[in-house]
Chain A
Amino acid sequence: MANRAFSIARLPGFSTLAVMVFVMLYLPIGLLVLFSFNAGPSPAIWEGFSLQWYPRAWANEQVKDATLRSLTIASFAAVISTSVAVLAALGTTRRKRSAGQTFVYLMINQPLMVPEIVTAVALLILFGFIKVATGYQGLGYLIIAHSAFCIPFAYLPIRARLEGMDLALETAAADLYATPWQTFRYVTLPLLMPAVIAGLMLAFITSLDDVVISLFVKSAGQDTLPTYMLGQIRRNMTVEVNAISTLLICLTIIMLTAFFLLTRRNE
């Protein structure tokens, strides 16, 4: 006990506060998940366990459409942003620092700094022009917008891994007369793969998370899952939103667990 009283790293009250913070972080999410299994429609009065809200939500055409739309956009956005992020990472890491490189960093990180609402209204105006000029109203706008703001999230793990990678293997490949493409395909890319998958997942989650930009960019009848949920919350019709939220939380946890395992194994 005497030892505990003077452990140097112990600061009075800190542990209590920290435990409280962890409880407060999970309590709202926990209640949200719990009430998605409520037999009644109340978000506060427990009326018994039931799974009814899940099939009910899925039976709703709007929910089904929005889910498929969100998954489509997120898949495209993840693949596009990760592809360009891999190239950009190859172009910006492991070489002499230059002004051009700083510019590229700034550009890539720009979506993290500019408030989403500002980008959203800017895209509303730009895509408005294009919609009038071309008559095209499809999902392309959402996919392009999502691909752009997902780039920094895809770039981050890939750049980190590239910087930690040994150049010797690639030099060896070049010494053995591999072309730059062969070197990339058979040496660099396989080594980079865990980071590429990590980047894909972060981009996917980021795209699925977005409300603001989707809200302004989408054409009529193009609700994504989050914009649909926002509308329902505004109308206070929320039990099926609990069910959808629970599934989104599960997806996040699964992806993050995979992300941690992927990035840790190769440390």
Chain B
Amino acid sequence: MTSAAEQAADRKARRAGWLLSAPALFLLIIAASGPLIIILIYSFLEPGKYGNVEWVFSTDAWVGILYSRDIFDGTYKLADAHLSIFWRSVKLSLYTTLFAFVFGFPTAWFIATRSPRMRTALLFLITIPFWTNLLVRTFAINQIIRNEGVLNTFLLWIGVIDDPIQLIYTDFAVFLGMTYVYLPLMVLPLFAAFDRFDMRLLEAGYDLYASRWQVLRKIVFPVVKPGVIAGSILVFIPSMGAFVTPRILGGGRNMMIGNFIDLQFGAGRNWPLGAALSVTLLVIVAVALAVYVRFANRDNGHG
């Protein structure tokens, strides 16, 4: 039973809530969410000769994502270059997520099983790289793996190799760099999951003669699954949208979607294609997020 007075108070509180949120919403609409609509519009226009667009409706950009038109006979065929960039983005992002998990899982477990003081210290050690400039961290990897870098110099010096190994400007370099910069994003949610994990469950498992592997697979993993999914999504999304890391470690040829978008707005002079690629990237991210929300809710539902 709510009285008229209570309802009025409720309305007033709600209005105050909107008013207080208004400045933040305004800023976000003009400089974050709103411009995304422009991207959608631009993806349906024709490219201008010197960049920008002609205001003529066209679906060429969307067709152009997957197909390229033969300039001689006008037939369409699959654009291999575009497909290979998409494939590289998906492949490297999945590898990055997988390896971040392989290294992040034991690390988070290790942190969660220390004494409280040690735990705080170790968490701090994970947080520092997380907040350190992404460009700086990518640059640090660049300095190690480039031809005149520490690794090659060392290997040449001890005589294992005669010529520098070409590591930089390869897919492997991009994968290595992304795993390095995004690893903390896997460790932190996994730690949060382990932190809530009831260690008595382990005891129960061992009492019932479970092996360590069985305990890990049948007890630990199912309980912390939401943390695993959260960490994986947190690593996968920025990997798909990566721009700086592939640019510094992949060079000009080993592009990912982010660099391909950049190219369309620069030397490629095809803004509509760049816009269509941006919308595609947004959709991929949205699907990943939807999967996450679904799993997270389902797991909560089962308690």
Contacts and interface: CB of A to CB of B under 8 A. Distances in A.
Nearest to B258: A117
A169 interface: no
Interface residues of A, number: 88
A22 interface: yes
A209 B265 CA distance: 23
Interface in B25-40: 25, 27-36, 38-39
Contact of B203 (A8, A18, A25, A115): A8
Contacts of A230: 135, 244, 247-248
B141 interface: yes
A151 B146 CA distance: 37
A36 to B, nearest CB: 11
A237 interface: no
B236 to A, nearest CB: 12
Interface stretch (A38-46, A58-66, A187-195): A38-46
Q: Which of A12, A80, A92, A114 has the most CB of B within 10 A?
A: A114
A256 B128 contact: yes
B78 interface: no
A233 B142 contact: yes
A165 interface: no
Interface string B198-225: 0100110010000010001000000000
Q: Is the interface of B mostly helix, strand, loop or mixed?
A: helix
A117 to B, nearest CB: 4
Q: Which of A21, A121, A211, A248 has the most CB of B within 10 A?
A: A121
A252 B136 CA distance: 11
A116 B243 CA distance: 8
B175 to A, nearest CB: 14
Interface string B44-73: 000000001000000000000000000000
A30 B281 CA distance: 35
A153 B85 CA distance: 32
Interface string A102-118: 00100110110111111
Given A31-B150, A44-B153, A13 B140 contact: no
Given A21-B103, A43-B149, A256-B127, A118 B142 contact: no
A104 B25 contact: yes
A219 B207 CA distance: 67
A262 interface: no
Interface string B77-115: 000000000000000000000000001101101110100
A17 B109 CA distance: 11
A147 B32 CA distance: 10
A183 interface: no
Given A95-B17, A123-B35, A44 B148 contact: yes
A91 B18 contact: yes
Contact of B39 (A121, A128, A205, A253): A121
B245 to A, nearest CB: 10
A206 B262 CA distance: 22
A113 B237 contact: yes
Nearest to B244: A211
B28 A90 contact: no
Contacts of A149: 31-32
Contacts of B103: 17, 21
A51 interface: no
A8 B202 contact: yes
A148 interface: yes
Contact of B21 (A28, A83, A91, A253): A91
B254 to A, nearest CB: 14
A248 B133 contact: yes
Given A25-B129, A252-B128, A148 B237 contact: no
A28 B150 CA distance: 10
Contacts of B34: 126
Contacts of A25: 125-126, 129, 180, 183-184
Interface of B: 10, 13-14, 16-21, 23-25, 27-36, 38-39, 42, 52, 103-104, 106-107, 109-111, 113, 122, 124-129, 131-137, 139-144, 146, 148-150, 152-154, 180, 183-184, 199, 202-203, 206, 212, 216, 237-238, 240-241, 243-244, 247-248, 258, 261-262, 265, 271, 274-275, 278, 281-282, 285, 289
